[in-house]
Amino acid sequence: MACTVGPEPLGDGGGSERPKWDNKLQYLLSCIGFAVGLGNIWRFPYLCQTYGGGAFLIPYLIALVFEGIPLFYVELAIGQRLRRGSIGVWTAISPYLGGVGLGCVTVSFLVSLYYNTVLTWVLWYFLNSFQSPLPWSSCPLDVNRTGFEAECQASSTVSYFWYRQTLNITADISDSGSIQGRLLACLAASWAVVYLCVIRGIESTGKAIYFTALFPYLVLTIFLIRGLTLPGAVEGLIYLFTPDVQILQNPRVWLDAATQIFFSLSLAFGGHIAFASYNPPRNNCEKDAVTIALVNSMTSLYASIAVFSVLGFKAANDHGRCLDRNILHLINAFDFPDQSISRDDYAAVLTHLNASQPERVARLHLEACHLEDFLDKSASGTGLAFIIFTEAILHMPGAPGWAVLFFGMLFTLGLSSMFGNMESIITPLLDMGLTHRSIPKEVLTGLACLLCFLSAICFTLQSGNYWLEVFDNYAAPLNLIIFAFLEVIGVAYVYGLQRFSDDIVCMTGRRPSLYWRVTWKVVSPLLLLTIFVAYIAVLVWTPLSYRAWNTQYARFPSRQGAAGDGFTGTPAESSRKMLCSMALTVCRVSRTLNCLLGGQSSGCVVFPQKNPQNLTSPSYWKVALAGCHHLGS
Amino acid sequence: MLRLLFVLVPAIHAQLCQPDAENAFKVRLSIRTALGDKAYVWDTNEEYLFKAMVAFSMRKVPNRETTEISHVLLCNVTQRVSFWFVVTDPSKNHTLPAVEIESAIRMNRNRINNAFFLNDQSLEFLKIPTTLAPPTDPSVPIWIIIFGVIFCIVIVAVVLLILSGIRERRRKSKEPSEADDTEDKCENTITIENGIPCDPLDTKGGHINDAFMTEDERLTPL
């Protein structure tokens, strides 16, 4: 069997070569950087904590082996084989699957909008970390300077800094408020940094990735060492990692493990396809896939150890301060000498006082201080980074330095993921040859970044955080699962497992083993279908909602759950638009399926890979539809 | 008669200074919390100093320049350390209004704190709110300075990259012919990797797959 290399894409200046990685390390670091993102820091530890500590690793590893690595391998192999971005690849497999590629580009565009907004917030905190004391350590004074701001007193200094001085958030998603100038400036800066790094495609990201992919590991190690030496860290680690095997009976755990591995590896974005398309045609992508997936999971574990040790320190600190407050109440009320009750004596003294003078003790309204309560306080996402971690950093000696390191790490983590997102948008566009040869690549990347920047301005509104949560929860996940399902079906059945195996033999020199073939053909599609159905079920059962920061709420500072049915005006339209895009995808999917099932009579053609003519030319479609060939091989 | 007076005066004093009496203030000190090992013991000498500081504060108030240390009365000293105090007028019959005492203490809070090496949190006058220090706002917030630095560096780097790209393109457009020859040579080499000879598909002189070729010839060229 002759091993054919896909022809060069027309968009790359006609006769000029496709760009290449300078060395294998750049490619590996780019894929690792894309896969390792903010979710490894603030989603995986939260899931571990909520779902029984060490026991969560069992469904996680099972999902990795049966879903994560096979899908990842498919993306790398198909990108390397067909040497195009996602639109080109799926159009090459079948013209009717082109919608999958287009969908991947759209999802990448939407995700890069709000992902970079998170980086904007990280940049804002980073810029504010260069001062001592840190701005989120104290409340600002109120108007008459007699006390602190009421909102700050009621919640906490870190929450106030996040919700008021950073976001200036409104109480309701329909109340948009005004554009926040400081966030707009940081947004412009972060898109400028992204543009600087992707300006020449992989030529420039390849240089930047050495720093952005490796710096987070350095900082994680520093935090790990510092974290383990903090008081209370080891207790926190033991408590949070202790496995609770009973929790595995809850099906939600398996669903969350499967979705976590899926999003953690950044599958179905088209970014890995784009990166792999710049590889030399004969490169062992099997080893790459397994290596990168394992590195991603190891990083999640490594990060969760660092995060848990800091959380353990924070819980011990909070517990100590709770005890101190109670001790102060007791000392003041009963006129004991200053510092006469230590934290260890507190329990004994309290029981003694409760026995002798229970009414006086009851009047004091002492809080209940249990270490487990503080350890159980968990958060994921922005809550972990901007509220819990910032508070923990306040109590570490040398706080500004730790804050700079932490937010610098988050920024570089997010930046390396942004490279993958931008490549998954830019590479297909370049391959499609939309622009004339004389227009340089810098202009195209600049236009893409400018368009993204202008679209993302809506997230700098006062209600931007609510919009971001809506996007994060509803825009990306379902679409990605559909695309991944179509990808694996497309490769296993439309392209044909036999032909795919031949390609892999040519690229890696070995036939894919039974494990790969079984997972591609049966296990992964079934898993994805199950996840899809379960996701829909969860969406149907739980009403659309978001959590609002409402100062008038009776239980402020708890966030008020606002109903999604109350969406009026623009929010309803946007959710309708999202449903429309999903419907369009489903429509394309059904047409493809119809074509596949209809067989020869419906005029389906497998695109011959010899010469991809201009996809926009009508005569191409005439050629494509003229005859019917056997599907797959 | 005089003996009666000597008996009555301390009794009157006791009535003037009582917990929750009119115009009385409670003071609470946390010496060990503030000073740790260097904490001093609270004894009558310290109380004397306290009375002196309060008298000093009152002397700064107009119309009260004649306040003496003996006019300040302390009572109910506990181990905590906490006590109540009042300030009497020269006749020692009634106490000065709380408003005056409060304003006098607030004016001189810093001096009182420093006399005892304490601060507003460790030397508390309950019912007298502390005046919070205004926040030290630099004229230009620090984040703007660093933002400006980073943004300028990024813009300069982008401009440099764009300019170097333009220069490279101009250089490349001056030598097009050499590039084509090298590409021709590369396409004709046969690479062997992993023991499998793989022939790159070459439109000029490579293998032609007949299965596809016939289709193209049958149909209208694009």
pLDDT score recorded for residue A592? 52
Please, which residues 432-491 of chain A have a Cβ atom closer than 8 Å to chain B? 440, 442
pLDDT score recorded for residue A12? 42
How near does any CA of chain B get to the CA of A502, in Å? 12
Lowest mean per-residue pLDDT among A194-208, A512-526, A571-585: A571-585
How near does any CA of chain A get to the CA of B203, in Å? 9
- B131 shares contact with chain A (CB less than 8 Å): yes
CB–CB of B209 and A2 under 8 A? yes
pLDDT digits (tens, 9 = 90+) for B102-136: 889 988 898 999 999 998 888 988 888 877 777 66
The span from the CA of B99 to the CA of B22, in Å, is 11
Average pLDDT score over chain A = 84
User: Three-class SS of residue A459?
Assistant: helix
**First and final C-alpha spacing in chain A:** 13
pLDDT digits (tens, 9 = 90+) for A193-211: 999 999 998 999 999 999 9
CB–CB of B222 and A331 under 8 A? no
pLDDT digits (tens, 9 = 90+) for A87-135: 999 999 988 888 899 999 999 999 999 999 999 999 999 999 999 889 9
Q: How confident is the model at residue A586 (pLDDT cuts 50, 70, 90)?
A: low
Matching residue, tokens 């701001």? A149
pLDDT at A378 over 80: no
Task: Render A197-247 in DSSP notation, one character per residue.
Answer: HHTTTHHHHHHHHHHHHHHHHHHHHHHHHHHHHSTTHHHHHHHHH---GGG
Please, which residues 145-164 of chain A have a Cβ atom closer than 8 Å to chain B? 145-148
Query: Can you give the C-alpha Rg of chain B in angstroms?
Result: 45
pLDDT at A5 over 60: no
Q: Which two tokens stand for residue B3?
A: 């003996």
- B14 shares contact with chain A (CB less than 8 Å): no
pLDDT score recorded for residue A625? 33
The span from the CA of A555 to the CA of A558, in Å, is 6
pLDDT at A1 over 50: no
- A242 shares contact with chain B (CB less than 8 Å): no
The mean pLDDT value for A252-280 works out to: 92
Task: Render A305-358 in DSSP notation, one character per residue.
Answer: HHHHHHHHHHHHHHHHHHHHHHHHHHHHHHTPPTT-S-TTTHHHHHHHHHHH-H
pLDDT score recorded for residue A222? 95
Best CA proximity match to A194, nearest among A295, A118, A296: A118
How near does any CA of chain B get to the CA of A627, in Å? 9
Are A561 and A547 in contact by the 8 Å Cβ rule? The answer is yes
pLDDT beneath 50, residues of chain B: 181-189, 197, 199-204, 215-216
CB–CB of A332 and B28 under 8 A? yes
How near does any CA of chain B get to the CA of A491, in Å? 21
Are A367 and A325 in contact by the 8 Å Cβ rule? The answer is yes
CB–CB of B222 and A131 under 8 A? no
Residues of A in contact with B31 (CB under 8 A): 338
Q: How confident is the model at residue A3 (pLDDT cuts 50, 70, 90)?
A: low
Q: Give the nearest chain A residue to B195 (CA atoms).
A: A509
CB–CB of A200 and B199 under 8 A? no
- A127 shares contact with chain B (CB less than 8 Å): yes
Q: Which two tokens stand for residue A575?
A: 């959710």
The span from the CA of A446 to the CA of A429, in Å, is 13
Residues of A in contact with B153 (CB under 8 A): none
Mutation site, A285, A327, A338, A506, interface B, largest B CB count within 10 A: A338
Please, which residues 83-122 of chain B have a Cβ atom closer than 8 Å to chain A? none
- B165 shares contact with chain A (CB less than 8 Å): yes
More confident residue, A199 or A632: A199
The mean pLDDT value for A428-455 works out to: 88
The contacts of residue A465 (CB under 8 Å, 6+ apart) are A167, A169, A382, A459
pLDDT score recorded for residue A271? 94
User: Three-class SS of residue B197?
Assistant: strand
**Helix A69-82 crosses helix A285-334 at what angle (to 10 degrees)?**
140
How near does any CA of chain A get to the CA of B2, in Å? 39
- B196 shares contact with chain A (CB less than 8 Å): yes
Q: What amino acid occupies position A447?
A: L
CB–CB of A331 and B78 under 8 A? no
Please, which residues 256-285 of chain A have a Cβ atom closer than 8 Å to chain B? 281-282
More confident residue, A162 or A150: A162
Are A253 and A37 in contact by the 8 Å Cβ rule? The answer is no
Are A567 and A575 in contact by the 8 Å Cβ rule? The answer is yes
Q: Give the nearest chain B residue to A508 (CA atoms).
A: B194
Q: Give the nearest chain A residue to B76 (CA atoms).
A: A335
pLDDT score recorded for residue A224? 94
pLDDT score recorded for residue B6? 60
More confident residue, A479 or A596: A479
Using CA atoms, how far residue A127 sits from A122, A167, A193, in Å, is: 9, 15, 15
Q: Give the nearest chain B residue to A612 (CA atoms).
A: B222
Q: Which residues of A are annotated as a binding site?
A: 33, 35-36, 40, 264, 296, 413, 417
Best CA proximity match to B13, nearest among B71, B77, B68: B71
pLDDT at A578 over 70: no
Matching residue, tokens 């709110």? B129
Residues of B in contact with A130 (CB under 8 A): 142-143, 146
pLDDT score recorded for residue B96? 87
Buried b (16+ CB within 10 A) or exposed e, A364-381: eebeebebeebbeebbbb
Q: How confident is the model at residue A312 (pLDDT cuts 50, 70, 90)?
A: very high
The mean pLDDT value for A496-525 works out to: 93
Residues of A in contact with B200 (CB under 8 A): 4-5
pLDDT score recorded for residue B131? 73
Residues of A in contact with B158 (CB under 8 A): 192, 195-196, 199
- A608 shares contact with chain B (CB less than 8 Å): yes
Which region holds residue B133: left if phi is over 0, alpha if psi is between -120 and 50, else beta?
Answer: beta
The span from the CA of B185 to the CA of B196, in Å, is 21
Q: How confident is the model at residue A149 (pLDDT cuts 50, 70, 90)?
A: confident
How far from the centroid of its chain's Cα atoms is residue A67's Cα?
18
CB–CB of B158 and A199 under 8 A? yes
The ipTM assigned to this model is: 0.77
More confident residue, A560 or A112: A112
pLDDT score recorded for residue A619? 42
pLDDT digits (tens, 9 = 90+) for A531-547: 999 888 888 888 777 77
How near does any CA of chain B get to the CA of A147, in Å? 7
CB–CB of B129 and A338 under 8 A? no
pTM of the model: 0.81
